[in-house]
Structure 1
Amino acid sequence: MARPVSAGPGPRSARPAPQDGTPGDHPARPAFEDGSLAGESPQPTGPSGEGSSQGSRKGWKGLATPLGILAAVAGAFAYVGTVDPNEPGHYPVCPLLKLTGTFCPGCGGLRSAHAFVHGDLGAAFSANAVATAGYFLFAVVWVLWLVRAWRGQPLRIRLAPAWWWGIGTLLLVFTVVRNLPFGSALAP
């Protein structure tokens, strides 16, 4: 039995599926980023069938980027832990605070990092609660990234637009509340 062929230049998913059991397009199954269809394994692309060289760096070779990022973040925290932001003159003043007297969502972040490095979580949280929560979130994402890199899998975190709107709303509410009299506990 002959396979039906689309006469027009339309997309592949618009072609009807073959009725004779031959492999063909499967419009009901979604395609993944590597071009394979759901339920099928991707075809090997390397010389010995090990996959592409970009995503298959397993073991120690795949850890270079996550460990480099950790080293940079640890260096920044070490500097802030050594050079006290509570003493004036070491760091620039927040421009929004200097011009308007209003705390931005980042105000107190350096003091929070300094307290965090010294193990004072209460002072870190009172200096900037969002930044302190961000330190823990970074640690969780970094560990996930490290595990996936060890396995040779890329880290892909995609947030839906609703999440981005939620994060923006949280930062806006945090900024407004920390500048009001009843939210003075959130001010640095």
Structure 2
Amino acid sequence: MTAPLRHRAREAWLGGAVLAAVTVAAALFDPTRPGRFPSCPFRAVTGWDCPGCGSLRALHALTHGDVVAAVDYNALLVGFLPFGAVIWLRAVTGRFRPRVLPVWAARALAATVVLWAVIRNLPLFGGVLAS
């Protein structure tokens, strides 16, 4: 591996270690129980369910084998995880070549995330998608 590829692999391993630590914390401590994690400033300011909190709850549900609850907490995260795993594996093996996203793709991705954050908080869904 060349030096830039080794550097990218090291970054991927560091990112994986951080994700593993968050996953262990989410597995050990139930984020739905008050007092386990700090209060969410996003929810305090907006009154909306936070995508980050929903992701933490989804991760907790996944570590306990409850895929249905994980999708209920944050379907976007659950849907992204397989793609994220493939990207991570390619990065640690040196097969990942970062590419700049076309502007339209970056905008579509950002719009999807924002749209998801709004849709999951609409009363129309009756809290089904909310965390």
TM-score range, shorter chain: 0.7 to 0.9
What are the equivalent positions in structure 2 for 1:169-180 lying under 5 Å apart?
Answer: 169-180=111-122
> Secondary structure of 1:106's partner?
helix
Which of the two has higher C-alpha Rg?
A: 1
How far apart, CA to CA, are the structure 1 residues paired with 2:111 and 2:76?
Answer: 13
The alignment yields a C-alpha RMSD, in angstroms, of: 2.5
Where do 5+ consecutive residues of structure 1 fail to align? 1-51
TM-score by length of 2: 0.82
Q: Among 102, 106, 112, which residue is 1:160 paired with?
A: 102
Superposition deviation, residue 138 in structure 1: 1.5
Structure with more helix by fraction: 2
> Secondary structure of 1:185's partner?
coil
Residues 80 and 63 of structure 1: CA distance in aligned 2, closer, same or farther (over 3 Å): same
TM-score by length of 1: 0.60
What are the equivalent positions in structure 2 for 1:23-42 lying under 5 Å apart?
Answer: none
Instruction: Give the aligned residue type for 1:135.
Output: L
Confirm or deny: 8 A CA contact 1:105 1:171 kept in the other structure: no
How far apart, CA to CA, are the structure 2 residues paired with 1:62 and 1:104?
Answer: 31
How far apart, CA to CA, are the structure 2 residues paired with 1:176 and 1:131?
Answer: 15
Q: Report the identity percentage.
A: 30
How far apart, CA to CA, are the structure 2 residues paired with 1:87 and 1:103?
Answer: 15
Answer 1 or 2: higher relative contact order, Cα 8 Å, separation at least 6. Answer: 2
* Matched residue count: 130
Residues 176 and 62 of structure 1: CA distance in aligned 2, closer, same or farther (over 3 Å): closer
Instruction: Give the aligned residue type for 2:113.
Output: L
Counterpart in 1 of 2:130? 187
